[in-house]
């Protein structure tokens, strides 16, 4: 009789440990998934800010006004974004990497880099590089 009680107690304890381990794994997976969802959401938000600023810069390029906001004669020049340097929780920087005027066609070619950094979590950021041609 005593041996059977010992076996039952051992079995119950082993099963309890297994259930506790499974519950712990489920909690770990739940918190990891919530963290990944937050990281993904913040990245998508910063990417949307970068796309919006890029669209604004392309509008300036189309109207031939970008050189009013930066020195187009030199490479790697920061672009003054005015009110767009801060959008919500994001800090935005833009740089004119290169500006070329095609002597044959007169087309203007801009190479730009837009960096967006989350001010609350600086390790989370996005960068958009693009080349834009205005004929």
pLDDT of amino acid 53? 94
**d(C-alpha 129, C-alpha 33), whole Å:** 30
Q: Which residues contact 97 (CB under 8 A, 6 or more apart)?
A: 75, 76, 111, 112, 113, 129
Residues 110, 132: contact at Cβ < 8 Å?
yes
Two structure tokens written together for 37: 């969802």
pLDDT at res. 15: 93
pLDDT value at position 3? Answer: 62
Q: Which residues of the chain fall below pLDDT 50? A: none
Looking at the DSSP assignment, which residues form a beta bridge with residue 127? Answer: 115
Q: How far apart are CA 6 and CA 102, in angstroms?
A: 89
- Beta-bridged to residue 95, according to DSSP, are 78, 113
Residue 1: predicted pLDDT? 53
d(CA 103, CA 81): 29
> What's this model's pTM, rounded to 2 decimal places?
0.72
The pLDDT, as a whole number, for residue 62 is: 94
Q: Is 82 helix (H, G, I), strand (E, B) or coil?
A: helix
């Amino acid at each position: 009789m005593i041996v059977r009680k010992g076996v039952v107690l051992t079995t119950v304890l082993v099963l309890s440990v297994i259930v506790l381990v499974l519950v712990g794994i489920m909690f770990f997976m739940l918190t990891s998934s919530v963290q990944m969802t937050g990281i993904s959401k913040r990245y998508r938000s910063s990417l949307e800010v970068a796309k919006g600023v890029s669209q604004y810069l392309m509008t300036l390029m189309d109207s031939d006004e970008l050189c009013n906001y930066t020195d187009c004669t030199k490479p790697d020049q920061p672009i003054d974004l005015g009110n767009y340097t801060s959008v919500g929780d994001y800090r935005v920087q833009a740089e004119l990497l290169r500006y070329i005027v095609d002597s044959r066609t007169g087309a203007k070619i801009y190479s730009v880099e837009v960096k967006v950094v989350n001010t609350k979590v600086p390790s989370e950021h996005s960068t958009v590089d693009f080349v834009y041609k205005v004929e």
